[in-house]
Structure 1
Amino acid sequence: MKTKMTRKERERKARKELIIDVTEKIIEERGYENITMDEIAEKAEMGKGSLYLYFKNKTSIILAICDRGSRILTQSMSKVLTQEITGLEMIEKLGQTYFQFIKDNPLYFNAFSYFEGLMNRDALDESPMAKKCEENAKEAMTFIIRSIQIGMQDGSIDSSYNPKELGLIVWGASKGVVHMAYMKQKEQHMAVLDEVEFSLESLIDTFMQLVGQGMKNTDHQSENV
């Protein structure tokens, strides 16, 4: 049972949410590279010293944005597993949910990428917010693996695969597809991306078709024809 927050705790949480809101707006206007603690404090209408009582640096605020985005995403993904559909259909729905979320919220995708770029830094080992981001990522992976296991049980997914390994492939490939699409939008990117005409939507459609066909249990399909 959750304990009721005190007034002081509620006020502190509200102030932290305000700081995150303000930072998101600044990032949407000018990108992650151009934010400063001074501007965040000014936009949040608080002293810089007060800001440091809530977040010790820019990285901690961006990790909070990552946590917020990943929580929203995992909540949407969790709803897929409550539907009365096959495991293969769940995988397709999870993919659609992820891609739609990224399309609607590119700021959060960039926050995820920022977090992953920090993964090798020892400082993150002591960051509670980084651990929350990691826990959210693990939860999303659990949804993918569980859907695959359900599909193997209901016969819609080929059971010869290792569900955890297959889940990792789906998760990693999904991130790669989105990364390529966003890279093409930037001025500096690999020349090979200019040699192929594609959009995020076209990549997603092709990827989802490949994923669905690749893990489909063809014997189960023929039994239902």
Structure 2
Amino acid sequence: MPESLTSREKQAIATKKRIYSCGVELIKKHGYDNITVKDIAEKANVSIGNYYHYFRSKYDLLVEIFKHGDEFFEAEVPKILEAYTDCKDILVQYFLIYAKLAINDGVDMAKNLYIPTNKMFLTHGRSMQNMLIQILKNEQEKGKIPGTFNCEEITEKLFIVARGVIFDWCLKDGKTDLLAEMEDIISRMAESYIVR
């Protein structure tokens, strides 16, 4: 935290982090649909009113979880991808980072995020998707992806496939090699879009 923050501002940041951490812990343990704002507030040792000071709803907590995922991508993807020049390798590495995000969260958290009621996966304009759209457009400009393909549609299809791979990993209680599966399937998908 910057030194210029007042003790009150530091306390507010700490309280929001505590609410977030407790919410994530409860989601891992009980599932998003099975917890309430009251549960989160009690776990974080704050009033319900204090919860609503930091998050407008329980859904806002989910938004914050996905925001953390986007921030992880913004921090990690550019450094990792600069080492790759082949279009297929770039797409595979991108989705290996996506898989690592699920692994870092743990299979219990993934099981509670990769559910049909979680509409955050359908949110357009998130930086994770925007980053991939831009990568695809760059590759299209280099002639690696035909101009007849729509980069937004490719992004959507690749994410559908990647979510399916993670969902399968969840179904199998994390006992499969998620990285190997993601690499294999995204490699095959990427081949269908790339000019060779």
Instruction: Please state which band the TM-score falls in when normalised by the shorter chain.
Output: 0.7 to 0.9
Does the C-alpha gap of structure 1 residues 109 and 39 become closer, same or farther in structure 2, counting only changes over 3 Å?
same
Measure how far apart 1:174 and its partner are: 1.5
Aligned to 2:187: 209
Give the number of the structure whose alpha-carbon radius of gyration is greater: 1
Counterparts in 2 of 1:38-187, with a 5 A limit? 38-83=38-83, 85-106=85-106, 109=110, 113=114, 117=117, 119=119, 134=123, 138-185=126-173
Contact 1:66 1:111 in 2 (8 A): no
Measure how far apart 1:168 and its partner are: 2.3
Contact 2:27 2:112 in 1 (8 A): no
User: Where do 5+ consecutive residues of structure 1 fail to align?
Assistant: 120-129, 187-197, 219-225
Aligned counterparts of 1:73 and 1:108: Cα–Cα separation in 2: 18
Does the C-alpha gap of structure 1 residues 184 and 160 become closer, same or farther in structure 2, counting only changes over 3 Å?
same
State the one-letter code of the partner of 2:100.
Answer: Q
State the one-letter code of the partner of 2:129.
Answer: M
Does the C-alpha gap of structure 1 residues 156 and 200 become closer, same or farther in structure 2, counting only changes over 3 Å?
same
Contact 1:88 1:212 in 2 (8 A): yes
Does the C-alpha gap of structure 1 residues 26 and 167 become closer, same or farther in structure 2, counting only changes over 3 Å?
closer
What does the per-residue CA deviation read over 1:56-93, in whole Å, with 9 as the maximum and x for residues that have no partner? 54333233223223322343234345445233322121
State the one-letter code of the partner of 2:130.
Answer: T
Aligned to 1:18: 18
Q: Which has the higher contact order (CA 8 A, sep 6+)?
A: 2
Aligned counterparts of 1:91 and 1:98: Cα–Cα separation in 2: 11
**SS across alignment from 1:215:** coil
TM-score, reference length from structure 1: 0.65
Aligned counterparts of 1:147 and 1:113: Cα–Cα separation in 2: 25
TM-score, reference length from structure 2: 0.73
**SS across alignment from 1:170:** helix
State the one-letter code of the partner of 1:216.
Answer: I
What does the per-residue CA deviation read over 1:124-160, in whole Å, with 9 as the maximum and x for residues that have no partner? xxxxxx8xx947x532122212222232333444454
Mean alpha-carbon deviation: is it higher for 157-166 or for 8-17?
A: 157-166
Does the C-alpha gap of structure 1 residues 45 and 78 become closer, same or farther in structure 2, counting only changes over 3 Å?
same
State the one-letter code of the partner of 1:154.
Answer: K
**Cα RMSD (Å) of the superposition?**
3.4
Aligned residues between the structures? 190
User: Where do 5+ consecutive residues of structure 2 fail to align?
Assistant: none
Aligned counterparts of 2:6 and 2:111: Cα–Cα separation in 1: 34
State the one-letter code of the partner of 1:12.
Answer: A
Aligned to 1:192: none
Contact 1:88 1:151 in 2 (8 A): no
